[in-house]
């Protein structure tokens, strides 16, 4: 097994290489599909059809947008968490989907990225809905961990043999500092997810945003203390943005 880290539109992409197959640890954004294809075909010299499984840790644009596109155009399988309902269901869900797309464009602008098409369906059809502790289909050396908090359905992916843990958006590193994600929909669950990490044997954290590597138990505890007591909302984010602009 070899893990390749690619620079995506606004997040890190982690592609896991095996002799006869490939695993994508998260669905990335729609804008990242060309990056992924070019790397597999040109850098690895592998047929793109060897990409067998795409995990979707949660439904945000930089974690599900690419998966949605890939599913329509290639014979691969998608897997996500076994949670009732859809994250973007109903009218409020559709509004939140548009706001999340807007936030992705905002982050892309902050990263000085060109404006690209990030649109993807708010509903995703997956072959596998995995429960906590289950092994990834076709990649049984990886285990699913249910680690909600950022959303109600966040997954982390654990490779016990190498003590490697992909945490998606649960932990971010910005300017060398660990921070909590935005939004946090379930603060208590978020703190519990961080506590679960503290109980695992992890020597290498893979972060969707920022540099990974080692993260100590004390750092995880400090991050728990930074977690807000109440859910963070877009209203609060927009208010902070306006205050910074006119400060």
Residue 73 region by backbone torsions, left for phi larger than 0, else alpha for psi between -120 and 50, else beta:
alpha
All domains in the chain, ordered by first residue: 2-226 (3.60.15.10)
Q: Identify the band that residue 239 occupies on the pLDDT scale cut at 50, 70 and 90.
A: low
On the question of pLDDT at 202 being above 80, the answer is yes
pTM of the model: 0.94
On the question of pLDDT at 243 being above 70, the answer is no
Q: What's the whole-number average pLDDT of the chain?
A: 94
Helix (H) or strand (E) holding 70: helix 61-73
Mean pLDDT of 147-168: 98
Token pair for 169: 């958006």
Write down the number of H helices and E strands in the chain. 6, 13
53-108, pLDDT tens digit by residue?
Answer: 999 999 999 999 999 999 999 999 999 999 999 999 999 999 999 999 999 999 99
């Amino acid at each position: 097994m070899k893990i390749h880290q690619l620079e995506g539109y606004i997040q890190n992409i982690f592609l896991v290489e095996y002799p006869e197959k490939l695993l994508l640890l998260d669905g990335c954004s729609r804008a990242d599909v060309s990056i992924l294809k070019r790397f597999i075909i040109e850098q690895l010299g592998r047929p793109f059809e060897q990409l067998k499984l795409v995990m979707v840790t949660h439904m945000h644009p930089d974690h599900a947008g690419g998966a949605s596109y890939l599913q329509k155009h290639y014979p691969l399988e998608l897997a996500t968490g076994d949670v009732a309902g859809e994250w973007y269901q109903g009218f409020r869900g559709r509004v939140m989907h548009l706001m999340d797309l807007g936030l992705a464009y905002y982050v892309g602008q902050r990263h000085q990225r060109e404006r690209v098409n990030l649109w993807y369906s708010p509903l995703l059809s997956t072959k596998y809905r995995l429960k906590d502790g289950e092994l990834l289909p076709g990649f049984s050396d990886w285990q699913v961990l249910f680690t909600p908090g950022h959303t109600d359905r966040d997954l982390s992916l654990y490779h016990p043999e190498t003590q490697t843990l992909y945490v998606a958006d649960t932990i971010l590193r910005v300017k060398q500092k660990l921070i909590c994600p935005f939004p946090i929909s379930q603060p208590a669950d978020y703190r519990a997810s961080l506590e679960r990490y503290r109980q695992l044997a992890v020597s290498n954290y893979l972060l969707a945003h920022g540099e990974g590597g080692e993260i100590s138990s004390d750092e995880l505890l400090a991050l728990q203390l930074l977690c807000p007591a109440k859910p963070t909302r877009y209203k609060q984010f927009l208010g902070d943005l306006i205050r910074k602009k006119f400060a």
